[in-house]
Amino acid sequence: MTISRRSLMATAGLATLAPLVRPALADTPDAVTIAWPSDVPSWDPNQRFVPDSQSIFKAVFDQPLGQDPKLKLIGNVVDKWRLADDAMSMSIEMRDDVLFHDGVKMTTADFRYTFLERVKLMPTLDIANSWRKIQDIEIESPTKATIRFSSPAPTAPQWMSFLGSYVVPKHVLEAVGAPAFAQKPVGSGPYKMVEWEQNSRIVLERNDAYWGAKPAIRRVTIQIVKDSSARVAAIQSGQVDITFGLPIRDAVRLQADAAYTATLLPVTRIILLQIRNDLNFADANVRLAAHHAIDKAALSKAFFNGAAVPLSVPASPGTPGSVPDYNFAYDPALAKSLLEKSGYSVDKPIKIGLATTNGQFPGDFDLARAIAQMWKKVGIEADVQVIEYAKYFELNRGSKLPEATLYTWDNATGDPEIFTGYLLNPKMPFSAWKGMEIGQKDMDLFNVANYDARVAGYRALNKEAVESGAAMPLLQSVITIAHKKALTYTAYDNGWVLPQTMRWG
Amino acid sequence: MRKTGWKLARRVLVSVPILLVVSFLLFAALRLLPVDPAAMSLPPTATLAEIAEKRHAMGLDRSIPAQYGIWLDEALHGRFGTSISLRRDAGALVANALPATIELAVCAMIIASALGLGGGVLLFYLRGTWVEVVGDLGTILLLSVPDFMWALLLLLVFGVLVPVLPFMGRIDPGLSVPRGSGFLLFDALSAGDFAVLRSALRHLALPALALGMAFAPAIMRVLRSSLIDVYHEDYIRQTRLRGVGEVRILLGHALKNAILPTLTLMGVQFGFLFGGTLLIEVIYGTPGIGNLMVDAVRNADLPVIQAVGLSYCVMVLAISMAIDAMVLMLDPRARAI
């Protein structure tokens, strides 16, 4: 057999290219690759409140308290706590076997540093706002301390398991400073962060000295894949083992595929219209008509495959503030008659501005357009305006939002203060509603220390706010998750996807 | 040689006012947006007094030219402001992301050049045949497909339908990124880590091909047109009369002259190619400045938008200068002017 120069060159060329076309496989028995829709803003977990980053932070850091999959508060590095009857103080007892990733023991000094000293040193940290009420943290021993508040803090335990409340190591931050820590963090969680390429990937390695249950997965690679089509392709090609935030239609399509498990999971995130109490919404008839004209079940069917639960109050079903036996009816005839009382009709419509984001959450812009169509049928002419989510607070602060804004609100705790309390408090930046008849009642509930009384108060307020047209809740949001059949994980009602709960087989 | 050096120096000097004008226009445009960087850099619960104080501290209560003066002074000292959403130095963010973009753009340009130059020569060589007609139609078709469409198409075909190439990030999950310059191929090569090198090449293949495919047809068409023009020159006829073979005339004589306008075009294309990285990086999860820019725009992160915009401008000017230098080296007529 003779080999020509040409065939030799061709063979050599193919041999060079061969390694490049090896199929890529993601899974090995103790490793998992996850396609995540967004990166962490930095590795300082106290710095920014980004709901999508919480699951990642929870893998690397510890919060004082935790939540079980049904959102019940449970101990974490703080295993005993007691909120005083007047909610002016809270005693805590920490575990004595918690080690930071550098081997140093976590004590109440770290707790005090995180929630008091650091907050005073760096007032621009997002947790500085959530813990403004802390006046002092009295250390009684390395494991015991008492938090003193300047005013009642009935949701302090909930906040101990919420956004940004992660215990950071005092000795590391004082030694290296916040900017260096934000690049190379030292946590105490079930995983250590070993590699971070911003906007590309995060590599976590199991912390074998973790005080709690050891994760089954040794190495977790989080690939940042912002494009939802690319995330669908990533799971279908087998390049990742689990992903979430897929378009609804793709999640439904994957449900029919035997190789994957795809779930549309309703979570403690709600979609609502934030409304003003002035401009053309000054008239309660118009507000109530606008609410009665929205067919929420149709919106759920059209945009969420029917998985998003229509809401009558601003709280997700099953959370303490929800009112299961209450239903705010879809009633276009009633909407028309309410508008007629105020002198408006289909032929003489009232003009309303409706702000929406485009791409902030799945289907937002289309949802707004569908609502505008529903309103048109009863005599409300909506001018749909697109705004950037980042500008919501600025516009609200300057009273520049239109009558209604399509908004999404995430509350991993499920507590009614963090739903209704924040959404309708005129003094807070989240609320477009500035009317004091509802606002004052809302603000008063911030000082109710007794849990049962507080929850009952929010339930009553929820109904009153909806019936007076101060609140227009729409749907409970759903997240879409798809993973390989052989991989299991624990689903949380607040949408957390925690690597430490994943396992093969 | 001195003349060439002087021409290049002049080009560098001209770049300075261009950069200043571009940076001012960018700055003014961003300041005219209805966005308050002071309010956005503070938590939502910040009071109006805190925002006013921050606005004053950031110099936002002064005129736009005065604000630009402050920004320029800071920029000349290597400080490009703090990212609103990431709370980190905008210059450092750009510097970290830039190598990934440059690597992607260079690989894409190599692919575009290989396809464009090879295709252009081939189309010209086969002129008058049916291949030319098919090639013509093919280039029109390729030109009409934008780069992000190529990105999705290639991802679907080679990532999902025939899953032979990875399309997420820069290397496989099991491998670690070697520390160094940020240019992954270079870092892997200098560390002698061939597993990372191979993985990085595989991960670069699809995004670079997507970008390159969008730019190859233009190169192809310009080169073919240039070759047609050059073939009307007398020296080609004389070369042919000397008995030189057609392939040698094409590759040894005509191509040298025809490639000059193609080179200029490639310089311009390279600038556009950087712009094309925006969506490609988001789709393929490449941690470059395109990805950074998309996030910055979404979060109205003005310092990052300004820093990324400026870095695009610097790169386009640098490429333009490099192309000028190449043309001066290759074309004695350009040196004589």
Least confident range of A70-74, B5-9, B111-115, B303-307:
B5-9
Whether residue A390 and residue B295 make contact (CB cut-off 8 A), yes or no, is no
Instruction: Tell me if B164 is assigned to some domain.
Output: yes
Whether residue A124 and residue B42 make contact (CB cut-off 8 A), yes or no, is yes
What number of C-beta contacts closer than 8 Å exist between A and B? 147
Least confident range of A87-101, A159-173, A345-359, B163-177:
B163-177
Q: Specify the pLDDT at position A11.
A: 46
Q: Which CATH number does the domain housing residue B259 bear?
A: 1.10.3720.10
Distance, CA of B92 to CA of B81 (rounded, Å): 10
Instruction: Tell me if B189 is assigned to some domain.
Output: yes
Whether residue B285 and residue A33 make contact (CB cut-off 8 A), yes or no, is no
Domain range for B224 is: 99-288
Q: pLDDT band at A350, cuts 50/70/90?
A: very high
Bridge partners (DSSP) of residue A408 are A271
Least confident range of A206-210, A215-219, B266-270:
B266-270
Q: How many domains does chain B have?
A: 1
More confident residue, A270 or B276: A270
Q: pLDDT band at A28, cuts 50/70/90?
A: low
Average pLDDT over residues B28-52: 78
Bridge partners (DSSP) of residue A223 are A35, A201
The Cα of B186 is separated from the nearest Cα of chain A by a number of Å equal to 17
Q: Specify the pLDDT at position A443.
A: 95
Domains and CATH numbers, chain A: 5-44+189-259+485-504 (3.40.190.10), 62-181 (3.90.76.10), 266-478 (3.10.105.10)
The Cα of A331 is separated from the nearest Cα of chain B by a number of Å equal to 36
What is the per-residue pLDDT across A399-412, written as a single tens digit (0 to 9) for each?
Answer: 889 999 999 999 99
Instruction: Tell me if B68 is assigned to some domain.
Output: no
Q: Specify the pLDDT at position B336.
A: 65
The pairing of strands A404-410 and A260-275 is: antiparallel
Whether residue A48 and residue B87 make contact (CB cut-off 8 A), yes or no, is yes
Q: Specify the pLDDT at position B79.
A: 87
C-alpha dihedral over A62, A63, A68, A73, to 10 degrees? 150
- From chain A, pick out residues whose CB is under 8 angstroms from the CB of B43: 124, 126, 128-129
Q: What is the mean pLDDT of chain B?
A: 86
Instruction: Tell me if B227 is assigned to some domain.
Output: yes
Instruction: Tell me if B6 is assigned to some domain.
Output: no
For B45, the closest chain A residue by CA position comes to A429
What is the per-residue pLDDT across A423-466, written as a single tens digit (0 to 9) for each?
Answer: 999 988 899 999 999 999 999 999 999 999 999 999 999 999 99
The answer, for A274 touching chain B at a CB cutoff of 8 Å, is no
Q: Specify the pLDDT at position A470.
A: 94
According to the 3-state scheme, what is the secondary structure of B55-123? HHHCCCCCCHHHHHHHHHHHHHCCCCCECCCCCCEHHHHHHHHHHHHHHHHHHHHHHHHHHHHHHHHHH
More confident residue, A25 or A505: A505
Q: Specify the pLDDT at position A23.
A: 44
Q: Which of A23, A200, A230 sits opposite B163 (nearest CB)?
A: A23
Q: Specify the pLDDT at position A26.
A: 47
Q: Which of A41, A200, A394 sits opposite B86 (nearest CB)?
A: A41
Q: Is the pLDDT of residue A17 over 60?
A: no
Distance, CA of A76 to CA of B310 (rounded, Å): 47
The Cα of A444 is separated from the nearest Cα of chain B by a number of Å equal to 19
Average pLDDT over residues B307-312: 90
What is the per-residue pLDDT across A117-126, written as a single tens digit (0 to 9) for each?
Answer: 999 999 888 8
- From chain B, pick out residues whose CB is under 8 angstroms from the CB of A197: 169-170, 177, 287
Q: Specify the pLDDT at position A21.
A: 44
Distance, CA of A470 to CA of A487 (rounded, Å): 44
Intra-chain end-to-end CA distance of chain A, in Å: 52
Whether residue B87 and residue A20 make contact (CB cut-off 8 A), yes or no, is no
- From chain B, pick out residues whose CB is under 8 angstroms from the CB of A397: 39, 48, 51
ipTM for the complex shown = 0.80
The Cα of B167 is separated from the nearest Cα of chain A by a number of Å equal to 8
Instruction: Tell me if B27 is assigned to some domain.
Output: no
What is the per-residue pLDDT across A77-95, written as a single tens digit (0 to 9) for each?
Answer: 999 999 999 999 999 999 9
- From chain B, pick out residues whose CB is under 8 angstroms from the CB of A399: none
Intra-chain end-to-end CA distance of chain B, in Å: 13
Whether residue A397 and residue B168 make contact (CB cut-off 8 A), yes or no, is no
What is the per-residue pLDDT across B238-282, written as a single tens digit (0 to 9) for each?
Answer: 888 888 888 888 888 888 888 888 888 888 778 778 888 888 998
Q: Specify the pLDDT at position A24.
A: 44
Structure tokens at A10: 């061709």
Whether residue A237 and residue B159 make contact (CB cut-off 8 A), yes or no, is yes
Q: Is the pLDDT of residue A215 over 50?
A: yes
The pairing of strands A350-356 and A404-410 is: parallel
- From chain A, pick out residues whose CB is under 8 angstroms from the CB of B177: 195, 197
